[in-house]
Amino acid sequence: MVRLGERICGRESFTAKALGLLPAYNTYRKTYALLQESQGWSREELAAHQAKALSRLLDHAYENVPYYRRVFQEQSLVPEDIQTPEDLVLLPFLTRADLQTNLPDLKAQNYPESAFEYVTTGGSTGIPVGFYYERGVSRAREWAFMKTQWDRVGYRFTDRCAVLRGYIVGSAKEGVYWKKTLCGRWLLMSSHHMAEETLPAYIDRIKRFKPRFIQGYPSTAVILARYMREHGIEPFPTVKAVLCGSENLYPWQRDLLTEAFGCRVFSWYGNSEQTVLAGECEESCHYHIFPEYGIVELIGRDGQPVQGPGAMGEVVATNLTNFVCPLIRYRTMDLATAGRGPCTCGRSYPILERVEGRVQDFIVTGKGELLSGIAMNIDTDAFDNVKQFQFYQEKVGEVILNVVRKPAFSKQDAEYLYREVSRSCGDDVLITIRYVDNIPLTARGKYRYFVQDLPIHFSEREGGIVEHASPDLLA
């Protein structure tokens, strides 16, 4: 979207004038203007804004959303009982199962049916869910927040951007795997056709397109980066930053992308439900949570808020802007670690030191502990002759490493790989290497490094981690 007051080529462009006629653009302009001001607010000013927004949301939910009227009554509460974000502990969590079961009652009754846009998640956590955006509003508001994040690394609406996400573009028959959009400024590139024989064409097209940014899923961008590193291809001279989102960014991926593209790698964290949004700071790799977007709690395994920087908890979030389908204290099934403030950039936003990933992206050790992929050393030359890999678990303390071998993969490679992975996972995890022909993308074009078939519950109140028997889905 065009920056408020921004001029293109010295004067307001036809595109900007056209966008100004759209109702959605007015939402974008208003939100973007607020964020330009609020990111300079003090902690007290942000807290006051958030408390006011929360009060408005709770009053609305109580009056117009049947599900929340019922919740308040069951808890013997009224909205006035919750004065600050800390008081939200008086309300129960909203789980994905709750969302599935109660979706009709989560629709606000004071909106016309035409205001509801039905959206679904991809089910990467094992529980696909549906919910509602406000048509013509939610996506425009999201754009304003995303643009504000990308401003930190110099993104402008007029910049060219190569996009490596979950798109299916072109065909092998035509040999064209991309298309332009946004008046030719974005080059959408297919993630479903990236292979050894087609990647030279991708690289050539990016060079000719001369993008200033590459936006993508980390796993998709890594495919291109590995090819460039292995074939000694120099970074694209025009690219100033890589914008990574919609997947967890592992340290080894960040290092590889930085090396291959020769620029800053910028990551953000959010979800399709639009309950939480946080983006990296331009002065560090820590994530600034947008307090204007929602309220974020980190909940420990005891169900209580975690205490102090460095503590890991499940992200429980309350969106402050979606009134057609409010999600209050929504359990995201994501884990993150609290950061320490204030930040050197001067913003008073809350900080996440890092995003650990989905609960389903963790490995369960023999002792029942959770092992994050962030802690594993995957950036090792043991994977040099591995084309693709994926960790798969269906039994506590046992992990299958699915491997697609390169032609040069040898017995020595197998032994070295086993030693390195076993060392990363520790003594409480038994590793079995299994060779497969390919590892498919998800329906949304994502590449999953961890497939967890155990019913993991981060909270001890849910009974901890329970082993169960299931068929080998990947055999």
Q: What tens digit of pLDDT does each residue of 57-87 get?
A: 999 999 999 999 999 999 999 999 999 999 9
Cα Rg of the chain, angstroms: 23
Looking up tokens 């889905």 gives 473
Please state, in angstroms and rounded to a whole number, the distance separating the CA atoms of residues 376 and 372: 7
User: How many CA within 13 A on the CB side of residue 449?
Assistant: 23
pLDDT of res. 471: 28
What's the pTM value of the predicted model, to 2 decimals? 0.85
Q: Looking at residues 3-23, what average pLDDT do you find?
A: 44
Residue 11 binned pLDDT confidence (cut-offs 50, 70, 90)? very low
Pick the range with the lowest mean pLDDT from 176-190, 353-367, 393-407: 353-367
Look at strands 330-338 and 312-319 and give their pairing: antiparallel
DSSP 42-109: -HHHHHHHHHHHHHHHHHHHHHH-HHHHHHHHHTT--GGG--SGGGGGGSPPB-HHHHHHHGGGGS-T
Please state, in angstroms and rounded to a whole number, the distance separating the CA atoms of residues 95 and 422: 35
Please classify residue 252 by burial: count the beta carbons closer than 10 Å to its beta carbon, then call 0-12 exposed, 13-18 middle and 19+ buried.
middle
The residue type of 162 is: A
pLDDT of res. 167: 81
pLDDT exceeds 90 at position 241? yes
Query: Which pairs from 381-387 meet CB under 8 Å and 24+ separation?
Result: 382/413, 382/416, 382/417, 382/419, 382/420, 382/421, 383/417, 384/413, 385/409, 385/410, 385/413, 386/413, 386/417
Contact 268, 151 (CB under 8 A): no
Share of the chain above pLDDT 90, in %: 65
Please state, in angstroms and rounded to a whole number, the distance separating the CA atoms of residues 314 and 349: 19
Q: What is the DSSP letter of 452?
A: E
Residue 258 binned pLDDT confidence (cut-offs 50, 70, 90)? very high
Residue 14 binned pLDDT confidence (cut-offs 50, 70, 90)? very low
Q: Which two tokens stand for residue 366?
A: 């023999």
Length of the chain measured in residues: 475
Residue 443 backbone dihedrals phi, psi, to 5 degrees: -60, -25
Please state, in angstroms and rounded to a whole number, the distance separating the CA atoms of residues 115 and 62: 19
| Residue 192 CB neighbours (<10 A) | 15
pLDDT of res. 212: 97
| Residue 236 CB neighbours (<10 A) | 21
Output the CA angle 137-141-142, nearest 5 degrees.
Answer: 120
The sign of the torsion formed by the CA atoms of 201, 206, 207, 208 equals: positive
Q: Looking at residues 376-394, what average pLDDT do you find?
A: 85
Q: Which two tokens stand for residue 436?
A: 């497969």
pLDDT exceeds 80 at position 463? no
Query: Which pairs from 97-100 meet CB under 8 Å and 24+ separation?
Result: 97/127, 99/129, 99/130, 99/131, 99/327, 99/330, 100/127, 100/129, 100/130
Please classify residue 89 by burial: count the beta carbons closer than 10 Å to its beta carbon, then call 0-12 exposed, 13-18 middle and 19+ buried.
middle
Contacts of 92 (CB under 8 A, 6+ apart): 71, 75, 329
